Amino acid sequence: MSTLCTIRRNPRRDRPIPGPSPMEFAMHARSRGRRALLTLAAAAGLTAGFAVAAPAARAQGSQAQVILVDEGGSYEVLVHPDFVTVVYLPDKIEKALASDTQSYEVKPIGSTSLAIRPLRADAKPANLALSTASLKVSVVLKMAPTREHAMTQVTFKRADVEAELERRIAEKVKERTAALEAKVAAMQAQMDAELPKLADGLIAARILQRRELRTLNAIERNDDNVVVETTHVLYLGDDAFIVFDIENRNKAPYRLAKVAMQDGTRDAAGVVRFTSDAAETAGAGVIGVVRPGGHGKGVVVVRRAADLVGKPLTLVVTEPGDKGKVAVDRIVLR
């Protein structure tokens, strides 16, 4: 059914259903790189496990309602002869008094719920007084204008009990999240200590395999008087580190956006690092900036350089939008 049923409450004795559950606080974890991602994912998984315990308002298009009350209140519930409306209470029903037993059928379902069904389509409004050890409510029964407006389920819950439950859930989530953050911090610290050792070991192994510095003499310029020269190549293990200089003889800054190493079929460039004496900070999509009349130096890594030995390579540098292109060919690895 898609139509909502109207519920009227006594504003002096009832209060509205609260907003989002405190469990959602886990979604506001601070963004701290990988640590935050791990923490947030775990916290989200934990809160999902508790979601069934939190009070929920009726979803749009349904015919069920959860109502939070302090100790009592008066409510209007729309019913229809085509449906049985089930009322759930938090504890054992001690009294259930109906004002019109001829027009409405009221039957217990266990000790904490009742089934209500109007016996006549023209039944007049009536009330049903319900009393348990923890609350007293008066349900005003009224015929729905259409069967789509009728409610099929009404659940009464103590507001203080639900608030306490949410508080406990929030505390548990906070506790588990703190424990997880501590665990991730310890793992991060261990990684921070181990990674330099791994890097040193990898470099040492590559040095033993091959360590050779050779000179390159390829140089080229574009129409804007931006000069690019490859100066050296450092062979370290299977990889080659190609060093290049950029001299900007133009009156406008040269903003380096892309560095490629073409072998005729593909781009073999890996990691690129660049530095210069420009005061301008590289923005989004820019590797580095060379000021007018200034110089910059960069390194491009070519992995598995042995596969490219003897092949003519071309270093291509461009600005954003493929502007300012400079292609330096005649680069050959040995």
Q: What is the pLDDT of residues 168-213, one digit of tens each?
A: 999 999 999 999 999 999 999 999 889 988 888 888 988 888 899 9
pLDDT at res. 62: 54
Confirm if 273 and 234 have CB atoms less than 8 A apart.
no
Q: What is the DSSP pairing of strand 93-98 with strand 126-132? A: antiparallel
- Residues 77, 143: Cα–Cα separation, whole Å: 8
Residue ranges of the chain whose pLDDT lies below 50: 1-61
Burial bucket for residue 35 (CB in 10 Å: 0-12, 13-18, 19+): middle
Largest CA distance in the chain: 104
- Residues 69, 218: Cα–Cα separation, whole Å: 82
Residue that the structure tokens 């109502």 belong to:
67
Is the pTM higher than 0.75? The answer reads: no
Domains of the chain, with CATH numbers? 22-176 (2.60.40.1550), 214-332 (2.60.40.10)
The token duo for 69 is 């009350």
As beta bridge partners, residue 316 has: 260, 327
pLDDT at res. 306: 85
The packing angle between helices 33-50 and 159-209, to 10°, is: 150
Phi, psi (deg, nearest 5) at residue 43:
-65, -40
pLDDT at res. 318: 95
* CA dist list (Å): 80 to 109, 147, 155: 19, 6, 18
Confirm if 197 and 78 have CB atoms less than 8 A apart.
no
- Residues 150, 84: Cα–Cα separation, whole Å: 9
- Residues 116, 119: Cα–Cα separation, whole Å: 10
Q: What is the DSSP pairing of strand 323-332 with strand 312-319? A: antiparallel
Taking alpha carbons only, the member of 5, 154, 17 closest to residue 90 is: 154
CB atoms within 10 A of CB 197: 9
Instruction: Tell me the residue type at 177.
Output: T
Listed in sequence order, the residues at least 6 apart from 254 whose beta carbon sits closer than 8 Å to its beta carbon are: 224, 226, 246, 248, 289, 290, 296, 319, 324
CB atoms within 10 A of CB 80: 21
DSSP state of 272: E
pLDDT at res. 65: 82
Confirm if 312 and 268 have CB atoms less than 8 A apart.
no
- Rg of the chain on CA atoms, in Å: 37
How big is the CA angle at 36 (ends 30 and 37), to the nearest 5 degrees? 130
Residue that the structure tokens 């508080």 belong to:
167
DSSP state of 141: E
Taking alpha carbons only, the member of 108, 109, 160, 158 closest to residue 136 is: 158
DSSP state of 206: H
